[in-house]
Amino acid sequence: KTIVFVEVKSRRNSEYGVGEEAVTERKKRQLGRLAEWYLSRHRKMKKPVRFDVLAIELDEPPRYRLIQNAIEF
């Protein structure tokens, strides 16, 4: 079994870029620290971990993109 952390980013339109572009290096570091805390608290350090990004564009019709392994640590 794999533990999956998912960062969800949505945009009303693409004027400021797509959702996955909002996952900055700073955000990646924050997610890494959060994952380490969670895994240590729940004693799941030996399980495989994956970081995905779910990008949502709220156009008509809405579009969704799941990017697996979007963040590597």
Q: What pLDDT does residue 7 have? A: 92
The mean pLDDT values, 10 residues at a time, for the chain of 73 residues are 91 76 87 89 81 89 91 77
Taking the model in full, what pTM does it have?
Answer: 0.79
Q: What pLDDT does residue 18 have? A: 77
Element (H, E) at 35: helix 25-41
SS3 62: coil
- What is the distance in angstroms between the CA of the first residue and the CA of the last residue of the chain? 19
Q: What pLDDT does residue 45 have? A: 66
